[in-house]
Amino acid sequence: MIKTVNIHKSFGSLEVLKGIDLEIKKGEIVSIVGASGAGKSTLLHIIGTLDKADKGDVMIQDINVKSLNEKQLSQFRNRHIGFVFQFHHLLPEFTALENVCIPAFISKIPRNEAVRKAKELLGFLNLTDRLDHKPSELSGGEQQRVAVARALINEPDVILADEPSGNLDSVSAVELHNLFFNLRDKFRQTFVIVTHNRELADMADRKLTIKDGVIHKQSANEKINIPKKTVS
């Protein structure tokens, strides 16, 4: 699903990534850990095409993203990649339902279809009674679940999460962690999660540790058994 080859990235004279080689399988949940400033978020942004490597290649479903122009890259990102950040970045003037629909509207999915899919996702995330609530009327955990629904609306192949539970209380964090695995089992998406949360990192199928700009070590849990995708 995802392959990076010899990824290098510097900011001025500071070399953050020094040759990252990585392969992630479809339906796999991979956590990335490391000290602050190790380059975790930088790597995630490069995988997600939000930033460009100084050197190296990123392939998603055998497509080298360097081969895409800016318009193609934007369309590819909208269709194939979903993002969940520490700060949910919901638009305050729109309801939960409207926020979830926005990526679908950008993809030119018909309005009725976008609304149907958004309601289905919000229902799956136990937010049916929050459809018409604006972000200021939602708890932190609810806001983050709306952000997850927004990331899923276009049925992306990959979900990239950057410190997704970093702004949540412990109960909401546990709920979000379990949600990721339920989503993988139901929709068969691939998850790459940057986190400082040891519990979430250890739940993943694999845990990658970045140190000194390279992948220092990998640890794997039990082999995953991925069911067939049940919802389109």
Residue 221 banded pLDDT, cuts 50, 70, 90: low
CATH number at 107 reads 3.40.50.300
Q: Is the pLDDT of residue 148 over 90?
A: no
* H or E element, residue 37: none
Q: Which residues contact 9 (CB under 8 A, 6 or more apart)?
A: 15, 16, 17, 39, 42, 43, 46, 51, 53, 54
Q: What pTM, to 2 d.p., does this model score?
A: 0.80
118 in a structural domain:
yes
* Mean pLDDT (whole number) for 12-40: 88
* Mean pLDDT (whole number) for 11-21: 90
143 in a structural domain:
yes
Q: How many domains does the chain have?
A: 1
pLDDT, position 17: 92
pLDDT, position 135: 92
Going by the DSSP 8-state scheme, the letter that residue 223 receives in this structure is P
Encode pLDDT of 75-107 as tens digits.
888 888 888 887 778 999 999 999 999 989 988
Least Cα distance to 158 among 178, 180, 139 occurs for 180
Encode pLDDT of 182-197 as tens digits.
888 887 888 999 988 8
Domain enclosing residue 197, as ranges: 2-220
